[in-house]
Amino acid sequence: MHPFISADFQNGKLDGWSVTSDTIRLEIKDPEDEPWFYFVIQGVDQQTWHFDLPGLDLKQAPVSVSYDRFDWIPADSRHANGFSHRFDQDAAVVSLTPPYTNNMLYEFSLWARRSPHADLIPLGGRHLQDPLCLHITDFGEWEDKAVVWVVARESPIQAAGSWVAEGLIRFLVSPHPVAKQLRQTYRFCVVPLLDIAGVAQGESKRTLSWKGSLQGTAMGHIEQMIKEQVQSGARMALTVTVTARVCGAGQSIATSHIGEDEIARWFAHATVTTDIGADSFSAWASQLYPKSKCLTLETAWFGPESALKSQYDLLQEGRQLVHLVGEILGERIRETAASEDPENMESYLPCRPRRERKADASLL
């Protein structure tokens, strides 16, 4: 009996499939420009299957498998035009990278909203079109605080960027002394997933641009909110863009406001440059507000020695990014950063799974 495969869910993507012996041929119409795949497979318990994807080299791709959409493990082997995996349960989800969907952001935002230090700001009201901003600070007399903007996921396929942004938010609302110090002085506006529409449709290509008029676009709402902040007297302190490599290793940081030694303290293996890119949020903001500082972080699913990162590793990168932001802002955080974590820190920034899916829960 052949397995059953479906991609009929939000962010799911697969154009077709067929089975021959122990091999499943997966079909993607444009693997070079639209490589994203994300599907559920059922009827595979204790079975090994080989997946062929003609035209898509997966040797350095973070192909991942999950039995609960919560914890992701790498496929057993990857090669040119395919991958192989032995499944431990009857049903699993398979994806080019561990995904970060609109539904996942919604569930996370409900958790974040319970914090007294976070507020949710919908940037527009169009369903599956306009992004969500999380406003983080110590509320009270906060209107005059300098503002730090963080925008992630300008391209739908860069799910790793959203994981880093979530880690940044989790750390900022935590009781850690560094988070407290930064919340007292700054207000953070974080957009963990900019291309809502592209992610919902399972797209890969970036279609958003910060060039030209932004009116009527998802970015136009950010532009309007920033203008209102500046007009009210708030200083734009720093803009951060978080992007991600899909295949291969390589982490890079672009900024001209801090030295390589300071960056290496938090991102030891990152390549450092001053080129923030011509069409990024930070590049756009630096032209409008030249006195503000800017930073671009490009993360990757593979770390040193080609070790595949988990989503928990990327959450921790969000914590590192907060520390780097503090350094760029000129805050003295090194001694504070070295202090021991509060006892409940794991509940804010998990390093491993905290729950398991019920055996009868559907993956569709």
Judge contact between 243 and 154, C-beta under 8 A.
yes
Entry field: residues in the chain = 364
Final residue of a structural domain among 95, 117, 145: 95
Residue 180 host element (H or E):
helix 177-185
SS3 330: coil
> What is the per-residue pLDDT for 216?
87
Asked if residue 360 is part of any domain, the answer here is no
Final residue of a structural domain among 95, 124, 146: 95
CATH number, position 257: 3.40.630.10
Residues 147, 135: Cα–Cα separation, whole Å? 10
Q: What is the pTM of this model?
A: 0.94
Residue 355 pLDDT more than 80? no
Assess whether 43 and 123 both reside in one domain.
no
Assess whether 22 and 120 both reside in one domain.
no
Assess whether 206 and 303 both reside in one domain.
yes
Assess whether 90 and 108 both reside in one domain.
no
How many CB atoms neighbour CB 268 within 10 A?
10
The per-residue DSSP string of 349-363 comes to: S-SS------TT---
Q: Which of 240, 307, 295 is nearest to 269 (CA)?
A: 307
pLDDT in tens, 258-284: 889 999 999 999 999 998 888 899 999
Assess whether 231 and 320 both reside in one domain.
yes
Assess whether 37 and 126 both reside in one domain.
no
Angle in degrees, CA 283, 322, 103, rounded to 5: 80
Average pLDDT taken over every residue of the chain:
92
Asked if residue 355 is part of any domain, the answer here is no
pLDDT in tens, 16-29: 999 999 999 999 98
Assess whether 69 and 129 both reside in one domain.
no
Assess whether 230 and 321 both reside in one domain.
yes
User: Using 50, 70 and 90 to split pLDDT, how confident is the model at 361?
Assistant: low
Looking at the structure of the chain, the number of domains it has is: 2
For the chain, the 3-state helix, strand and coil shares in percent, each to the nearest 5, are: 25, 30, 45
